[in-house]
Structure 1
């Protein structure tokens, strides 16, 4: 199964790369990075489902975080770009895909660069793609929420006109702990484990009620509101 899925992934990559460059040749917006990211979900054996009403424009998504596969799942459904740890930029395949999908890479260790990162995030929020952040700043097993890092919510103080924040609760149901990339596990080990798993997995994105960040005094208040809403959804969703 692993080999078959890997071959499918390679085939979709080659096709997507050709079509992406063809679109770029004619100076047209390319849908292929998003579609290829979605194909990674499919070839990994993960179907997607959604609940709630997704805001499609002028929206800033904030979601909980389990694994590297969250990126293709979320982008495949929403067409979003991401704020991601700069270590991902050097990953084979995923790093390149994130780059052509306009991902904003940030350093979690360099606190002196936070101001520049916030400015870059503000610029991205005025583009054609919605932006997603994972405010926990790392992956975990889904048994609860980690503390949120509020620094990047500073890009919403004040928010661009009409911008809403939409919290997203992402779960893989009873398979969440199998999908989760945690501890000292290497990303290659998690990749192998996921692609070798035979049972079907569904990633469900619960799009929660959006809110206007202009009604909150600062980044910490916005962060706390997002965390409270995702936490409530986590308590109420039965696996």
Structure 2
């Protein structure tokens, strides 16, 4: 699919939004991952999706459900294979070492939101062990504020998204098992992939929360999104 997606990006073919859905769905089938979707995905309004982050697997899980792009740290752009896939997904990269990077990314995201694109922000800023939710960072939610400054946009929404890996081999995932599913800290990717290639079916519950109208206060909106994700994780 890579040549097709490259041509689609070059010539702006509509398939550029569809090919990633095919790719992620195939990847999940290969890893025997079943996605259980709850709630309603974003509509046509300008929407910044605010999600928790557990594993590299979050990307194909979310990417298989809806045409969207991700915000990623700049280091990923240079990674072999994964960096290429991230670029083909039209990810927005941010260099956290540069103080001006956040403002630049917010401006780029605002233009994408204005065009009706859905962007996913992993608001914790890193992956966790799956057993607890890390505090959400509000800095990149400023993109919603920047989008509101455009004359063509009347309303911008933050939509909470909770990702919970709930069952393995048909049995509930325990607190002890969740860190093996998560990919965080200094974990090596290759041994972690082996865990998923052992042929044990995995269920993941994805819960779309109710869109939160952004009122200009990014800290308040981020806190509301964090609370919604936390509640959805407990329910899952």
Structure 2-normalised TM-score? 0.84
Following superposition, the deviation at residue 206 of structure 1 comes to 0.4
Counterpart of 1:226 in structure 2 is 225
Counterpart of 2:206 in structure 1 is 205
Q: Quick one: which of 186, 189, 195 aligns to 2:188?
A: 186
Uncovered stretches (5+) of structure 1, i.e. residues with no partner: 1-15
Counterparts in 2 of 1:127 and 1:40: CA distance versus 1, 3 Å? farther
Q: Deviations over 1:172-199 (max 9, x none)?
A: 11264332002221223322332x2321
Counterparts in 2 of 1:107 and 1:38: CA distance versus 1, 3 Å? farther
1:78 partner SS: coil
Uncovered stretches (5+) of structure 2, i.e. residues with no partner: 167-172
Counterpart of 1:235 in structure 2 is 234
Following superposition, the deviation at residue 21 of structure 1 comes to 5.2
Residues 37, 97 of structure 1: 8 Å contact kept: no
Following superposition, the deviation at residue 25 of structure 1 comes to 8.0
1:1-239 correspondence runs (5 A): 16-20=1-5, 28-30=13-15, 31-58=18-45, 59-157=47-145, 159=148, 160-173=153-166, 174=173, 176-194=178-196, 196-214=197-215, 217-237=216-236
| Structure with the higher strand share, 1 or 2 | 2
Counterparts in 2 of 1:134 and 1:24: CA distance versus 1, 3 Å? closer
Q: Which moved more, 1:140-149 or 1:27-36?
A: 27-36
Residues 167, 210 of structure 1: 8 Å contact kept: yes
Following superposition, the deviation at residue 128 of structure 1 comes to 4.8
CA distance in 1, matches of 2:145, 2:4: 39
Q: Deviations over 1:134-177 (max 9, x none)?
A: 00010011111101111001111263423222101111112643
Q: Aligned residue pairs: how many? A: 219
CA distance in 1, matches of 2:38, 2:182: 21
CA distance in 2, matches of 1:110, 1:23: 31
CA distance in 1, matches of 2:193, 2:114: 34
Cα-Cα RMSD? 2.1
Residues 33, 101 of structure 1: 8 Å contact kept: yes
| Structure with the higher helix share, 1 or 2 | 1
Counterparts in 2 of 1:218 and 1:25: CA distance versus 1, 3 Å? closer
Counterparts in 2 of 1:179 and 1:127: CA distance versus 1, 3 Å? farther
CA distance in 1, matches of 2:40, 2:122: 20
Residues 56, 78 of structure 1: 8 Å contact kept: no
